[in-house]
Amino acid sequence: MARRRQEIALQAEIETQEEWNEAINKDGLTVVDVYQQWAGPCKSVEGNFKRIKLESGEALLKFALAKADTIDSLEKHRGRCEPCFLFYATGVLVDAVIGANAPELQRKIMLNLEEEKRILKEGGERREFIFQQIDQDEDEEVDPRLQRHRSSSVANAITSQQYTLAVIRPDAYADGKVDEIVETITQNGFKILVQEEHHLNEHDARELHRYKMNQEGYEEHIARMTSGPSVVLLLQKTDAKASTVDDLRELVNSDELLKTNVDYTPSTDNIHDELMLLLPHIARRPRTPEENLERTLAIIRPSALKLYKDAIIDRIRDSGFEVTRTLEIQLTRQQVEEFYASKKNEPYYEDIIQEMT
């Protein structure tokens, strides 16, 4: 892909490791669209980024494009077909969004920007985001910690989205009430899939309780939630009347012990975000129907491109395939050799290499 620095004023283009190091270590929040050369950047969000930048007027907010093919730090992101946005706050990876989800991008941009402004002004520690992008067919490469925690019951609960989260507050932990709370929850039909200690920092506490922002006592609650260790519970209720989320909410609100000592996920709408926040090492983003589709790649050779491009694409569509993206690129010799590696021993191999480059 030709470099486009002059075309893009909003998003700085990064193509080398040196440029990457410089970009992510700038003061403020840098939102990076990580792309593959064959696919190109995510064009659909450019307008949203421009609007957010104009409306916020923040010099601390920056946007960038990073080519995974040529940056060593992005090696694990190579070969991915879905958009990936990484959030860096003065050199620390603090968040990520997979997919071109405009509302989610805007929400996380504003949340992380406010947190970074607060840290730059008042001081504080940035919590590093543990990025785990795992495909279903890559289980053999999964982090051992993920494999240890991800029993079949946990995997099934997450895949079916039949789970909820509860956080036993630091005060209850310090007072030795954890066992009593856990027993109350299990006696009411909930299965505890995961139980872990977790010390919330201010960023996590505010993210977890953002729906309480306008309620009286919000700041005091944030202070209590960051005062010491909490206990995070991943729960499932297989015979739930409505959903596991709704049943836990009903239980907590009807039991005085739980009501005063336990926070819970209020809605299924943000359940996965909270799982990523509290238990990132076991979280796996649910696949959308589009991601479960089988995909393949076709290359029209240079000799046929000008004369037969439209006819070839029409023939492909007529055969029942959906063409989701087309892109004209100049392949390097290395890329062509990798693509045609299976033809290396064929007598016409060098002819193909010459034609394709």
> Confidence band (pLDDT; 50, 70, 90) for 242?
low
User: What is the reported pLDDT for 134?
Assistant: 39
User: What is the reported pLDDT for 41?
Assistant: 85
Shared domain for 179 and 229, answered yes or no, is yes
Shared domain for 154 and 267, answered yes or no, is yes
Shared domain for 231 and 316, answered yes or no, is no
The CATH number for 58's domain is 3.40.30.10
Strands 164-168 and 92-98: unpaired
User: What is the reported pLDDT for 8?
Assistant: 45
The more confidently predicted of residues 280 and 72 is 72
Please check the confidence at residue 277 and state whether its pLDDT lies above 60.
Answer: yes
Domain contains 5:
no
User: What is the reported pLDDT for 322?
Assistant: 79
The more confidently predicted of residues 149 and 164 is 164
Q: What is the DSSP letter of 285?
A: P
User: What is the reported pLDDT for 4?
Assistant: 44
Domain boundary among 122, 156, 189: 122
pLDDT one-digit tens code per residue, 18-31: 999 999 999 999 99
Burial of 103 (0-12, 13-18, 19+ CB in 10 A): exposed
* Residue 277: closest CA among 82, 103, 94: 94
Shared domain for 73 and 168, answered yes or no, is no
- Chain position carrying tokens 């930048």: 53
Domain contains 130:
no
Domain contains 283:
no
238-259 burial: b if 16+ Cβ within 10 Å, else e: eebeebbbbbbbebbeebeebe
pLDDT one-digit tens code per residue, 45-59: 888 899 899 888 888
Shared domain for 116 and 186, answered yes or no, is no
Domain contains 135:
no
Shared domain for 253 and 318, answered yes or no, is no
Whole-model pTM above 0.85?
Answer: no
The more confidently predicted of residues 16 and 133 is 16
Shared domain for 177 and 268, answered yes or no, is yes
Shared domain for 145 and 262, answered yes or no, is yes
Q: How many domains does the chain have?
A: 3
d(CA 208, CA 357): 52
d(CA 91, CA 189): 45
Q: At 127, phi and psi to the nearest 5? A: -90, 120
Shared domain for 146 and 271, answered yes or no, is yes
Please check the confidence at residue 345 and state whether its pLDDT lies above 70.
Answer: yes
pLDDT above 90 covers what percent of the chain?
A: 25
Domain contains 284:
no
Domain boundary among 60, 88, 122: 122
The CATH number for 211's domain is 3.30.70.141
d(CA 213, CA 202): 13
With a CB cutoff of 8 Å and minimum separation 6, the contacts of 235 are 163, 164, 165, 166, 185, 190, 191, 192, 193, 244, 248
User: What is the reported pLDDT for 283?
Assistant: 64
* Residue 328: closest CA among 341, 311, 309, 314: 309
d(CA 78, CA 133): 11
- For the ranges 44-48, 167-171, 305-309, the maximum mean pLDDT occurs at 167-171
Is there a contact between 48 and 16 (Cβ–Cβ < 8 Å)?
Answer: no
In 214-332, which ranges are continuous DSSP H helix? Answer: 218-225, 244-254, 256-261, 271-278, 302-318
For residue 210 the two structure tokens come to 């953002």
User: What is the reported pLDDT for 155?
Assistant: 66
Shared domain for 273 and 340, answered yes or no, is no
The mean pLDDT of the chain is: 81
Q: What is the mean pLDDT of residues 216-231?
A: 91
For residue 149 the two structure tokens come to 């925690």
Shared domain for 234 and 188, answered yes or no, is yes
Burial of 11 (0-12, 13-18, 19+ CB in 10 A): buried
Q: What is the mean pLDDT of residues 127-152?
A: 47
Domain contains 6:
no
Domain that includes residue 76, residue range:
11-122
Q: What is the mean pLDDT of residues 58-85?
A: 87
User: What is the reported pLDDT for 63?
Assistant: 96
Domain contains 313:
yes
Please check the confidence at residue 133 and state whether its pLDDT lies above 50.
Answer: no
